[in-house]
Structure 1
Amino acid sequence: MKKKIAILFGGQSTEHEVSRVSAASVLKNIDQAKYEIYPIGITKDGKWFGYNGKIENIENGLWEKDEKQKTPNGQNILFNKEVEVVFPVMHGLYGEDGTIQGLCKLLNIPFVGPGVLSSALCMDKVYTKYVLENFGIKQAEYVVVNKFDYNKNKDKFIKGIEEHLGYAVFIKPSNSGSSVGITKAHNREELIKGLEEALKYDRKILVEKAINAREVEVAVLGNDEPKAAVPGEIIPAKEFYDYEAKYQNEASKLLIPAAFNEEGLERIKKLAIDIYKMLDCQGMSRVDFLVDKDTEEVYLNEINTLPGFTSISMYPKLWQASGKEYSKLIDELIELAVDRGNE
C-alpha cells in the first residue's frame, strides 16, 4: 500500500513564497507511485486548506483562488490521522521554529526534519550562539539588541556596538530566514537604519562583526549517524547573500564542491556533523559557515533545519552532487521520519 504523506506549504512567515516554490519542487520530484500525497496549504493569515489542483498554482500562489480544488479545514487531514508522515516544507516562523513539529508530536504523527527543541533553538540565531559557545564553536563577535531596551536608550546601544564591534557589521532579526530583514552597515547612519529594518521582523536583533569571508554550506542528513554531502560555496551577486541575491539575481553562483582541497572539505564536513549533533538535529539540516579569506579560520554562520528545496536550492543540489538524486533524498527523509517515530 502507498504510504500517506502530507506536504505542508505556505504559512505565516516572511518566507511564505519560498515555501510554495520549495513545496512545488518536492511535489514534482516525489515518487507518486510510492506515496499517496496530501498537499496542505496554509495562507498568510493562518487558514489551512487541502489542495488537489495543479502544482504550478502552488508555485505561483494561484492555489488560494482555485476554489474548485481547495477543501476547507485542511488541518482535519492531520487531526483525523489520515496521513502517516508529515513533510513540513515550510521555512521560518510557524513552520521551522518548532510549532508545526510540536503539533505533529501532539498528534503522534512522524514528521520530516528535526524535533521541537532543535527546531526552535536553530531558528533563534541568538540562542544558537549561546549554546554553541559552550561547545567552543567559533562564531563572529556579536551584540544582542532587545527592542524594548533599545527603544529606551538607543544611543547607548549604538555606542556599545561601535565600541565592541566597529564597522562593518551585519544586522539580523534573530528569528528570520532567507536573509529577510538582514542588512550590512558600514557607518552609524546605516547601522541605525538597519536596526530599524530588522526590528520590523523581530523584537530581538543580532549584530555581528563582518568577516571578510567565503560562504560555505553543508547539507547534513540522518538521525543517530548523520552524513554530510560535499560542501558548496556561495558566490553572491551582491556584497552579501541577501534575499534578492538568493532568489532573484541570476548572477549569484553556487560552486560545488567548494574550492578547498580534500582535507579542507573533510574538515568542514566533520564540523557540520559535530554541530548537527550538538544541537540534537535529526532528519536534515543545512549548516552554513563563514571561512575567513585571509586566515582560513572557519566560523559558524547559522543552521537551517528546513532548508530551501527549490530547484536552485543548495540542500538538494549538494546531495545530488554527492550521488543522491532528489527523489531518493525525499525517500530517505521520509524513512528517517518513520524510524524516529517508531522509537
Structure 2
Amino acid sequence: MAKKLRVGILFGGRSGEHEVSLLSAASILKAIDRKKFEVVPIGISKTGRWLTEGNAAALLEGAAIEVLPADAAEAAGPSDAVAALVPDAASLGTGRLDVVFPVLHGTFGEDGTIQGLFELADIAYVGSGVLGSSAGMDKDVMKRLFSQAKLPIVKHVTVLRSEWEKSPRKTVTFIESALKYPLFVKPANLGSSVGISKAHDRKELGPALKLAARFDRKIVIEQGVTGSGKSRTTSKARELEVAVLGNDDPKASVVGEIIPDKEFYDYEAKYLSDGSVPVIPAKLTAAESKQIRAMAVEAFRACDLAGLARVDFLMEPDGKRRIYLNEVNTLPGFTAISMYPKLWQATGLGYSDLITTLIELALERHNERSRTSFTFEASK
C-alpha cells in the first residue's frame, strides 16, 4: 500500500478575510481524500499565533484562541512554524510535511508572504509562487502585466496615499481629468472587495479615496463599465468569472456569472448576503465564452500564476457587449459552494478530485523547481 502524503492545511491568518479562510479550510478538511492523504490542520490566529492539534480545531469552530491555554505542542511563533516544515521537526508536533495547502485569503496569505516561507523551507505548496502571488494581489502591478500582454482592461489611474493626503484637490482634479464617472475606488493590495467604493460624482469620490487609503498606500481608480440605460440597475456591468487550473499548461472552466443583489459585488454581497445569484454557465454566445476562457488563460500566464486562480471579467450590459479583464484571484474562496469549485463542478471535476488535483500540481511544480540550480560551480 502506497504511503499517504502528509498535507498541511493552513488557515486563519491576520487578514480581514480570516473568517472566510476558516470556512474554506473546514470544507477542504471535510472533502479531502483521506485514503490518499494524511491531513495536518495548522491554524493562525488573528494575532498571528500558530496553532495545531486541538487549538487548530478550536479555531475552525470559532473559539477565542487568544484565551486558550498555550503549550509547546499547540502554539508557536512563526520561527517555530518554519521548523514544522523541515525534516525531523517536532516543535508543532507535525514532523515533516510533504505539501502545504495554504487557505489563507488576503494579506499575508496570497500576497507572496507565506509563499516565501515555503520556498525558504523547500516544501511543495498549492498555488502560485512568490512573484505570481504578489502580482495577483497588487491591482496596479497586475494591470501593468495585463497591458503588457495586450489584454483589454478598463481605463484606470493609480495614486499614492501620500499624494492624496498632501494634495486632495489636486488628486481629485487629476482623477477627473483622466476618467469619467462612475468610478470604482480600490486599495491596490486587498481582496474580497474590502475597502472598495463606487463613486458616482465628486461628492462621493473624496470619501471613497479616504476609505481605500485606510487599507493600502496605493489606490487604484477605475472607470466604471456601464451600458446606455439611465438607471443604475440597467447600466450595471455583467460580472463574469472563470476558474483556471494548471501550471505550465493551464485550463479554463466554463464561464459563470454573478448577479449581485447590490449595485456592485462588494464584500457584503459576497459573504453577508444570500441575495447574489450565481449563473453557471453564464448566458453567452459560444464565441463570447470561447474568448473569455482564452483571455482567462492568458491572464493566468501574464501574471506567472500556478495551481489555481479565479479570473474575473466585466462585460458591457448592452450595446457592443465589450469584455474587459478585471482581475485575478490566486487563492479564491474554496468552500463547496464557492464559485471556483462550482465552476469546475460544472466543467466535470468534482470538489474532492479538485483538491487532489491541486495537491498533485503543487508536487509537480515543486519537482520542476528542484531542477533549478541555485549555486554555480566552475567546471574543472
Q: Which amino acid aligns with 1:122?
A: G
Match of 2:216, SS state, is coil
* Alignment correspondent of 1:304: 329
2:299 to 266, 270, 275: 275
Q: Within 2, Cα distance between the matches of 1:186 and 1:83?
A: 50
- 8 Å Cα contact 2:151-2:295 kept in structure 1: no
- 8 Å Cα contact 2:24-2:335 kept in structure 1: yes
Q: Within 1, Cα distance between the matches of 2:201 and 2:139?
A: 23
| Corresponding position: 1:264 with 2:271 | no
Report how far residue 151 of structure 1 moved. 1.2
TM-score, structure 1 normalization: 0.95
* Unaligned stretches of 5+ residues in structure 2: 90-94, 227-236, 369-380
| Corresponding position: 1:197 with 2:211 | yes
- 8 Å Cα contact 2:41-2:57 kept in structure 1: no
Q: Within 2, Cα distance between the matches of 1:114 and 1:11?
A: 18
Match of 1:229, SS state, is strand
> Which digits, 9 at most, give the CA deviation of each residue in 1:132-155, with x for residues without a partner?
111111111111110111111110
Change (3 A) 1:66 1:31: farther
Report how far residue 311 of structure 1 moved. 3.1
Q: Within 2, Cα distance between the matches of 1:166 and 1:317?
A: 35
Q: Within 2, Cα distance between the matches of 1:169 and 1:232?
A: 24
* Unaligned stretches of 5+ residues in structure 1: none
* Alignment correspondent of 2:173: 159
* Alignment correspondent of 1:188: 202
2:183 to 166, 169, 176: 169
- 8 Å Cα contact 2:43-2:59 kept in structure 1: no
* Alignment correspondent of 1:88: 102
Match of 2:125, SS state, is coil
Q: Within 2, Cα distance between the matches of 1:262 and 1:66?
A: 55
> Which runs of structure 2 are paired with 1:178-327 in the superposition (5 Å)?
178-212=192-226, 213-294=237-318, 295-327=320-352
Number of equivalent positions: 343
Q: Within 1, Cα distance between the matches of 2:67 and 2:356?
A: 31
Q: Within 2, Cα distance between the matches of 1:314 and 1:88?
A: 18
Change (3 A) 1:140 1:259: same
Q: How much is the aligned-residue C-alpha RMSD, in angstroms?
A: 1.8
- 8 Å Cα contact 1:11-1:46 kept in structure 2: yes
Report how far residue 323 of structure 1 moved. 1.1
- 8 Å Cα contact 1:20-1:61 kept in structure 2: no
Select the structure of larger CA radius of gyration.
2
Larger RCO (alpha carbons 8 Å, 6+ apart): 1
| Corresponding position: 1:32 with 2:57 | no
Change (3 A) 1:226 1:165: same
- 8 Å Cα contact 1:51-1:63 kept in structure 2: no
Report how far residue 66 of structure 1 moved. 5.5
Bigger mean CA offset, 316-325 vs 159-168? 159-168
Moved over 6 A (4+): none
- 8 Å Cα contact 1:28-1:55 kept in structure 2: no
TM-score, structure 2 normalization: 0.86
Task: Percent identity, please.
Answer: 49
- 8 Å Cα contact 2:43-2:56 kept in structure 1: no
